[in-house]
């Protein structure tokens, strides 16, 4: 027998698919700020925040929404190999594949970019930019200086605050957009909208304010942690639904199940 929770837990599989995007007040504000920054004559824009604050899905949404209006390219997976990165960049700039066994002449590539100024405006979205080496970031800066290519650089904030950002970008970035963990209101809306989008109305209604506050306290409003927690909660609910249905309340998600999920994920300790 298929449990009602089996499909519900799949809603919270971590994803940057545009179909999984949830419109929230904070995400809409960040999106509009990023959209406005792209329209300005800036060379580089920094999208900054801790893991799980929604940077990747924001970039993906921007790329999908603007792909028919602007020359925009989303580099979702960072190329840590310098040759691989410049092969990809060469193809974006020249619209041609680099012949095999040919090295990219970086100076010629920069000069080529300078010739494009005023003819094309190319936007490149770089996700997970903390994976690039300082030398590669310096090369990216030189390409941005041509003003034919604009980079939106997504970077994880670390425990050392913005140390990485300062190291790579100090005096180079013209605009910084910082994403933060959700407020309680946005967190609650995120959980409910994720469920309602897939027509899980009864399950959404079973999560009351008190339980929502406990989940918010566990995750601190981080979307990635929210996905992990809700997936685990519904995995536990699925077990009881299939094996011990008398122990589950279908109209009110019990706090003990949230606490069991919290124990499993290490938010609390026995």
Residue 123, classed as helix, strand or coil, is strand
pLDDT at 130: 84
| Cβ–Cβ under 8 Å, residues 122 and 154 | no
Q: In sequence order, which ranges of 67-199 are alpha helices (DSSP H)?
A: 82-94, 106-116, 134-144, 163-169, 184-197
Please name the residues in contact with 176: beta carbons below 8 A apart, sequence gap of 6 or more. Answer: 45, 46, 48, 165
Angle between helix axes 25-39 and 55-66 (nearest 10 degrees) is: 50
The pLDDT of residue 42 is 82
pLDDT attached to residue 173: 59
> What pLDDT is recorded for position 163?
47
SS3 58: helix
Domain ranges of the chain: 4-12+183-265, 25-179
* Helix (DSSP H) and strand (DSSP E) numbers for the chain: 12, 5
Q: Which residues lie across from 91 on neighbouring strands? A: none
pLDDT per residue of the chain (270 residues) written in tens, 0 to 9: 678 899 999 999 988 778 788 889 888 999 999 999 999 888 889 898 888 999 999 999 999 999 999 999 999 988 878 888 888 999 999 998 888 788 888 999 999 999 999 899 999 999 998 888 888 888 998 999 888 999 999 988 765 545 455 555 555 557 888 899 999 999 999 999 999 999 999 999 999 999 999 999 999 999 999 999 999 999 999 999 999 988 888 899 999 999 999 999 999 886
| Separation between Cα atoms, residue 150 and residue 171, nearest integer Å | 16
pLDDT at 254: 92
Contact criterion met (CB below 8 Å) for 30 and 58: yes
Q: How many CB atoms lie within 10 A of CB 16?
A: 17
User: 42-74, pLDDT tens digit by residue?
Assistant: 888 989 888 899 999 999 999 999 999 999 999
The predicted structure's pLDDT at residue 171? 54
Residue 146 DSSP code: T
| Residue the block writes with tokens 């007040």 | 25
Task: Find where tokens 């603007």 sit.
Answer: 66
Q: Which CATH architecture has domain 25-179?
A: 3-Layer(aba) Sandwich (3.40)
φ and ψ of 214, to 5 deg: -65, -45
To the question of pTM greater than 0.85 for the whole model, the response is: yes
pLDDT for 1 equals: 60
Nearest-angstrom CA–CA distance, 253 and 234: 10
**Alpha-carbon span 219 to 197, nearest angstrom:** 22
Strand order in the sheet with 44-49: 71-75, 122-126, 149-156, 44-49, 175-179
């Amino acid at each position: 027998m298929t449990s009602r929770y089996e499909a519900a837990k799949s809603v919270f599989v971590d994803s940057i698919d545009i179909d999984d995007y949830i419109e929230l007040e904070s995400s809409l504000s960040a999106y509009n700020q990023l959209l406005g920054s792209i329209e300005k004559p800036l060379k580089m824009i920094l999208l900054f925040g801790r893991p799980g604050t929604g940077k990747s899905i924001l970039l993906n949404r921007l790329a999908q929404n603007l792909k028919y209006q602007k020359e925009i390219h989303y580099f979702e997976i960072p190329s840590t190999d310098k040759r691989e990165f410049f092969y990809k960049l060469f193809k974006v700039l020249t619209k041609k594949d680099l012949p095999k066994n040919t090295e990219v002449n970086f100076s010629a590539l920069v000069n080529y970019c300078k010739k494009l100024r005023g003819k094309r405006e190319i936007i490149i979205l770089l996700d997970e930019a903390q994976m690039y080496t300082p030398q590669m970031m310096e090369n990216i800066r030189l390409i941005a200086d041509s003003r034919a290519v604009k980079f939106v650089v997504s970077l994880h904030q670390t425990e050392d605050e913005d140390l990485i950002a300062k190291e790579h970008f100090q005096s180079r970035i013209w605009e910084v957009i910082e994403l933060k963990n959700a407020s309680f209101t946005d967190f609650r809306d995120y959980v409910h909208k994720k469920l309602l989008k897939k027509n899980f109305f009864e399950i959404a209604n079973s999560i009351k304010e008190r339980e929502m506050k406990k989940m918010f306290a566990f995750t601190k409003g981080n979307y990635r942690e929210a996905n992990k927690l809700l997936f685990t909660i519904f995995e536990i609910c699925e077990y009881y639904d299939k094996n011990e249905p008398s122990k589950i309340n279908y109209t009110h998600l019990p706090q003990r199940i949230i606490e069991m999920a919290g124990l499993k994920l290490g938010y609390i300790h026995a």
